Structure 1
Amino acid sequence: MTQTDVNSQEEKGRSASQPTVFGWHTGLFTAADDDAPKSDLAVLFLSPWGLEEMCTRRFYRILAERFAEIGVASLRFDYPGTVNSLDDTSAERGLSGWSEVIGKAAEELKTLSGTRKLVFIGQGIGASLTLMQARSAPSLAAIALLAPVLKGRAYLRELSLFSRLIDDGLGIKPELRDSAPGSIAGLRMPRAVADDIKEVDLNSIETTAAPHVFLAERPGFEADTTFRDRLASAGCQLRAIPFSGYDALVSNPLDQELPEALVDELIGWLKSLPQYQDHRPLPAKKPSPVASVRSEKIRETSVRFGQDERLYGVLCEPADGSIGVTAVILTTAYDHAAGWARSSVAIARELAKVGVSSLRFDSAGVGDSPPVEARRKQVLYDEAQIADVGTARDYVDSLGLGDRTLLIGRCSGAYVAFRSVLADRRWDSCVIVNPVAFRWRFKGLPRTLKAYMRNALDLETVRRLWTGDVDLGAVTKNISMRLVDRMANRLSFVFAPAKPITQLTKQVHRDFQALASRGTPLSIIYTEGDEGQEMFRINFGDAGEKLSAYPNVQLHLFPDADHNLTPLPAREKMIALVKQQALSLGNRSERHIASAVA
C-alpha cells in the first residue's frame, strides 16, 4: 500500500473513537466495523513517552481504524501523569503504577469487545512495557514491539541528547532547560518512572510462554538485531521486519510521514494469528454514555461531537461551580489536544480551579479526530479548520456553556482562532500566541523559492508527486505568490501602495477594526524574536505603535522563550494571562448585568 492509499483509507469519514472510563482512567475504544468478520482478538495500544508519543498519536488512531476494518477492536489510553490523564498520583509509584493501569485497560478492552484474547502493541518504552507485561497477562495471544527500548539507562541518555538537540533548535537558553532524567520538549517524566526505567533491560527478561511476537527493528541498530536473535532462540514465533520510516515518524511532528509498509505488515500479521480465525466473541458491554473522571477540584469528560461525532475533545469543568465563562482551546496542525508540553492540559485545569470551564479538542485530521473527506492532508494554516471551531462552539452552546466565551490558540491555532473570532460574532474574547500572520495568502506552509527549486530536482520529490503525496495545487500557488512578491519588491516606492503586502496590511487593519467595533478583547502574545513578529511589524510598525488605534487589543512580549513556549516559566506566564482575561470576561458580564438591573 502506498502513502496515497493510506491517506485514502483515512478519508472514509469515520466517527471519533468511543470514550470509555475504567476506574479513574479514560480510554478511546474503537469497535470492529459492523460489516467486518468478527474476530476473537482485540488490540491494546501502549504508548511511547514524550515527543514520540505526540508523533505517534495520529499513527495509533489510523492503526485502530485499519484494524477495525478487519474485525479487530482496540483501546488506546494514557499512562498516569501523561497527556490527558487526570491521575498523577499513580505515576508516583513508577512503572508499577503504569503497569497496573495497563492491566485495568486490558480488562476493559475484553469487556467492551467481547473477545477472550488480546494483542499488545507498543512503541518505544510502550514496547518495553508490552514485553514486561506479557509475563502476567494470561489472555495475551501475541505482542508487537515497535522500536522497543532495550536498556533503560541507554534510553535516558538518548533522550537527554535528543532533548538538548531540540532545545538548541528552539534556541532555549541553557538556564531555562529541563535537565531532569527523561524530560524532553517541555515534558517532564515522573521521577519515579525515570528511576524505574533505569533498571529496564529486555535482554534479561525470561520468555517462558513463547508467544507470537512481531518486532519492528530500527535500521542500523545492532542492539535490535541482537535482541531479535535472542527472541528467535527463545522459541518465540517471530516475525521481524525493519522499521522503515521510523525517523520520519518520530523526529518532527510538523512534517512526519506515516510508515505505510509497517501498517500493512501489522495487518497481515494480525490476520495470520490463530485467534483471528476464531469468530466466537462473547457478548460485549456498551461503553458508558458519559466518560468522566474527577479530582478534588476538576471534572474531565472525554467527548465526541459534531456531525457523525467526528471530533474528539476533553471537557474540563470546575467541580465546585462555574463563573459562567467557557474557553475553547485549539490545537496546532501537529500537536494534539493535550498541547505542546501538555500546555493545553495545564491551561484547562488552571482555568477550572478558578471556575472557568473549557473544551480542548483535535481538529479533523489531527490527533484522535479522523479527517474530513476532500480536505487537504496537511491542515496547517487551512481555512477549513474554522468550520471545526464553529462546530466546537455549537457543542459548547448545546451544553449551556456558551454564555461568555474565550477562544485560545497558538501558532497555526492562533491564526485559526483569530479568523474564527472574525467569522463568528458569538465569541466574546480571544488570546493568540505567536501568530505568524493574520491573513494567509499561501496554501499550507510555504517554502522559500530556493527550496522549491532545489526540491524540484530531487528524485524523492518526483516520486512523491507521482504517488500523490505532494499537493501540486498548493505548490503551484505558493510559488506564484513568492514570484509576485519578488517582482513587487523590485518596484519603486511610487508603486508601493500596489504591492501585495501593502494590500494585505490594509485587509488586516480592516479585520482589527471589525473586532474593535464589536469591543472584542484580543490579547496577542509574542515571544521576543519569534518569526511571527516579522509580519506583525509590517502590519503594525516596529514597536506595534499602530495598535494604538484598537483599544480592545493588548500586546504582550515574553522574553526567554521559543515559539512553542517550551520553558515552564513562559507557559506559567501565559496561563496567568489567560486566567486574567477569562476572569475579566466574567467580571465584565457581571457588571453589565448589574447595570441592567439597576
Structure 2
Amino acid sequence: MIDTPTWFGPAERSLFGWFCTPDSGAASYAVLLCPPIGEEEHNAHETIRRTAWGLAEQGIASLRFDFHGTGDSMGHWSDPGRVPAWLTSVQDAYDALVATGVPTIGGIGMRLGATLLGTAAARGVIDLDMLVLWDPCSGKSMLREGYARRPGTAEYEDGSIETPGYLYGPETVADLQSVDPATIVGNISSRVVLVLARDDRPPARGLKKRLPPADMVEWQTCAGMSDMLDVPMDLNNVPIDAVEQLVKWVAQHEVSSGAVQLDIPHRSLTLRPTRREPIRESTVRLGDQGLFGIVTEPARRTRSAIVTFVNVANDRQTGPGRHWVDMARDLASEGFRCVRLSQSGTGDSPTLPGQTFGELYCTQWLTDLPNALSDSTFDDGDIALVSLCSGAYSSLEAAMRVRVAAVYPINVILTIRDTSRGQRLHSTDRRVARPANPAFLPRSPASAQRRYVAWRVYRQLAVWHAPLSAVHALVRRGTAVVLVMSPDDGRHFWESAFWSGLFSWRWRRAGAFRLHIDERIDHPLMTQDGQQAAINLIHRDLVDRFPSG
C-alpha cells in the first residue's frame, strides 16, 4: 500500500488529501471517500483511513480529502458560502481522481459527507459507478445532534449554532436546512447503491421511499457507529467490523478492467494572505519513526521561533476546532515558521510496533516527540511547543529531553492515574508525571472527604510531588513555561504553598513562567469562548517573546 499526502485542485481553492493505492501504484478502480463535517470528522478520521487501507489491500485505489475550509485544506471555516464550497470540493476531488487516469470511480460518503456526495452525483457534476451512503444524515439533524453535544451554554441571536469545537454561522445553518439525503437520491444514476445504516437507529426519514428501484439499491446495517461518533474523541473506537463489511461489499461489486499506473500528484500549498508575503505549506516526515507533519512557513522568515503544534488525544495535527491550522497560518504571515504534527499511534502518523492506536500517554510518546524535534527541520530555530491536554503532557516530557525555548501547555494534567506506580503506563523514564491520589493513599480512610483532606495535606508536605516541581525543572533547563488553564485544571499548579509562594514569583519576574487561568476555557477546548481566549493569549505571548528581526 502507498499512501501519498498532497494538495490538489484549482490553486485558488486547493484541497488536502491522501491518495492511497496498492503497492504497485496501479489500479483499475478508485473510490472517492467523503468524510463527515465538523466534530464528526475528527471522530471518524481513523475509520476513513482504515477504509482506504482496506480498499488498497483489495487492489482498489482511493482519495480521502478535507473539504474546503476544513482539515488541512485551503480556506477558513467561517468563510461565506460553506455548503456550496463543500459541494464544489466533492467535484474537485472527483476531478483529481479522474486526472490520475483510473478507468472507473465509485464513491463512499459518511454522514453529511454521504449527503454531499449524493447531491453532487444527483446534479450530474460527478459520474459514480458505485455509491455508498454510510449513515447519511441531513444538515438539520447533524446540527441538532451537534448542538445537543455542545460543552458550552452560549446562544447566538443571529441564528448561529455551536457544536463541539465549531460554530456554524447563520448562512451555513440556513443552507444546511436543505441538505437532505431524502430529497436527492431519486436522481442518482449509479450502477449500484448501498445504504449502510446504523444498527441502533432508523435511517433518515423518507430515504427508503425516495431511493431508486430496489434492484439498484441494497440496504445493510452496521455496528459500532455509536462508539465512533457519539462519544468524546479520546474515547471513540474504529468500527472494525463495519469497515471490513464495507470493503468486502465494494470488492464484490466493483467492475474491474485492466489496471493502469496512476499519476498521483505531489504538490505543496501556496497561500497569499492579504497585503502579506506568500506562505508555503508542505508535508514532512519527522524523526526515525516518521511522524507526519505539515510545515507552514513564510517566504521570508523574520522570527527565530519554530512554533510546533502537537496533536491532542487520537486526533490529527489540525487541533481542536481546526485552530492549529488557522493559528499556524496566521503566525506564518507574521514571520514564524510553524510545524503541526501527530504523535505516533494517532492522527496521520504511523502506529509503532507494540503500540495501540489512540492510547493516550503511552510510553512510545516519551521518545517519539523528542526524536521528531531532533529532526533537521528544527535545526535553525528556537522550538516553541503549543499543545493541549495529552499533547501538552508530551510536550513537557519532550522539553525535558531536547532543547526547547518555550512551551505553551493548555490544560495539561501531570497527576495521571495510569502513569502512577503500579499502573499499566508507569515508567521510570517519565520526568514530569506526578503521582495521582490513589497511588499514594491506598490505605486512606474510606470517606471521600477524609481522603481529599489527607491528600491536600500530603501535597503541601511532599513538595517534590507537586506539579510546579516539574515546572521548576523545566525553568532550570532554560525553558519558558506559559500555562494556559481552565480553573479546574489550573488549581493543581498553585495549590502548593512552597512552590507558588517561594519560587513562582521569581520565575515570573524573569519572564520564565506564566500561569493564566481563565474561566472561559473548558478542558477539551471545545467552546468558542474558550478557544479564542487560549489562542489569543498564546498568540500575544509568542509575538512578544520572539520579536521580529
TM-score interval w.r.t. the shorter chain? 0.7 to 0.9
Q: Describe how 1:329-344 pairs up with structure 2 within 5 A.
A: 329-344=309-324
Which residue, out of 232, 237, 246, partners 2:216? Answer: 237
| Structure 1 residue matching 2:223: 3-state secondary structure | coil
Distance 1:512 1:20 in 2: 40
Query: What are the residue-to-residue correspondences of 1:124-203 with 2, within 5 Å?
Result: 124-135=111-122, 136-137=124-125, 139-149=127-137, 151-156=138-143, 158-159=144-145, 162-167=146-151, 172-174=152-154, 180-189=159-168, 191-203=170-182
Q: Do the aligned partners of 1:86 and 1:293 also contact (CA within 8 Å) in 2? A: no
- Which residue of structure 1 aligns with residue 442 of structure 2? 487
Superposed CA deviations along residues 346-403 of structure 1, whole A, max 9, x for unmatched, are 32123223211211111122222231121233431234224332243234x3375x32
Higher relative contact order (CA 8 A, sep 6+): 1
Instruction: Please state which structure has a larger fraction of its residues in helix.
Output: 1
User: 1:133: Cα distance to partner?
Assistant: 1.5
1:323/1:120 CA distance change after superposition, 3 Å = same
Q: Alpha carbons of 1:163 and 1:106: their partners in 2 closer, same or farther (altered >3 Å)?
A: same
Answering whether residue 278 of structure 2 is matched by residue 291 of structure 1, we say no
- 8 Å contact from structure 1 (residues 527, 561) kept in 2: yes
Contact between 2:118 and 2:188, CA under 8 Å: does it hold in 1? no
The 1:372–1:110 alpha-carbon spacing in structure 2 relative to 1, beyond 3 Å, is: farther
Q: Secondary structure at the match of 1:110?
A: helix
Residues 213-261 of structure 1, C-alpha deviations (whole Å, 9 max, x = no match): 1211133544447523543x52453332213111111122111121122
Preserved CA contact (<8 Å) 1:16 1:312: no
Taking structure 1 as reference, are residues 540 and 60 closer, same or farther at Cα in structure 2, changes over 3 Å only?
farther
Q: Match for residue 352 of structure 1?
A: 332
Shift of 1:542: 10
CA distance in 2, matches of 1:399, 1:543: 33
Give yes or no for the alignment of 1:520 onto 2:491: no
CA pair 580-540 structure 1, distance change in 2 beyond 3 A? farther
| CA 178–549 in structure 1, closer or farther in 2 if over 3 Å, else same | farther
Amino acid at match of 2:540: Q
CA distance in 1, matches of 2:77, 2:272: 11
Counterpart amino acid of residue 409 in structure 1: S
**Whole-angstrom CA distance in 2 between matches of 1:377 and 1:221:** 28
CA distance in structure 2 between the partners assigned to 1:357 and 1:143 by the alignment: 42
Residue 207 of structure 1: which of 187, 198, 202 is its match? Answer: 187
The match for 1:533 among 490, 505, 508 is: 490
Deviation readout 1:256-305 (Å, 9 max, x if unpaired)? 12112211111111111242x32x133422422x4223122452424130
> Do residues 119 (structure 1) and 106 (structure 2) align?
yes
The 1:364/1:191 distance shift into structure 2, 3 A limit, reads farther
Kindly provide the amino acid, as one letter, of the partner of residue 331 in structure 2: L
Partners of 1:178 and 1:382 in 2: CA distance: 44
Distance in 1, matches of 2:425 and 2:315, equals 22
Deviations along 1:82-106, one digit per CA (max 9) or x if unpaired, are: 2322224995334332222211211
CA gap 1:286/1:496 in 2 versus in 1, 3 angstroms: closer
Write the letter of the residue equivalent to 2:546. Answer: G
Structure 2 SS opposite 1:332: coil
Structure-1 residue corresponding to 2:431: none
- Residue 281 of structure 1 corresponds to 259
Cα shift at 1:124: 1.2
The TM-score, its normalising length taken from structure 1, stands at 0.78
Give 3-state SS (helix, strand or coil) of 2:31's partner.
strand
When residues 342 and 201 of structure 1 are mapped into structure 2, their CA distance, relative to the original with a 3 A threshold, is: closer
Change (3 A) 1:485 1:392: same
Relative to structure 1, the CA distance from residue 111 to residue 548 in structure 2 (aligned partners, 3 Å threshold; closer, same or farther) is same
Q: What is the 5 A alignment of 1:359-370?
A: 359-370=339-350
The answer on 1:415 being equivalent to 2:393 is: yes
Verify: 1:565 aligned to 2:516, yes or no. no
Structure 2 CA distance for aligned equivalents of residues 56 and 527 of structure 1: 27
Which structure 1 segments of 5+ residues have no match?
A: 1-13, 447-471, 591-598
CA 1:23–1:305: 2 relative to 1, 3 Å = same
CA distance in 1 between partners of 2:465 and 2:419 (Å): 21
Aligned to 1:547: 504
Q: Alpha carbons of 1:550 and 1:255: their partners in 2 closer, same or farther (altered >3 Å)?
A: same
Q: Deviations over 1:122-181 (max 9, x none)?
A: 1111110111122325641111111112x444443x24xx424432xxxx3546x79844
Cα offset, 1:578, TM superposition: 2.0
Q: Distance in 1 between matches of 2:77 and 2:496?
A: 48
Shift in CA distance, 559/535, structure 1 to aligned 2, threshold 3 Å: closer
Question: Which residue pairs with 1:32 in the alignment?
Answer: 21
1:460 is aligned to: none
Matches within 5 A, 1:71-82: 71-82=59-70
Aligned length: 527
Partner secondary structure for residue 165 of structure 2: coil
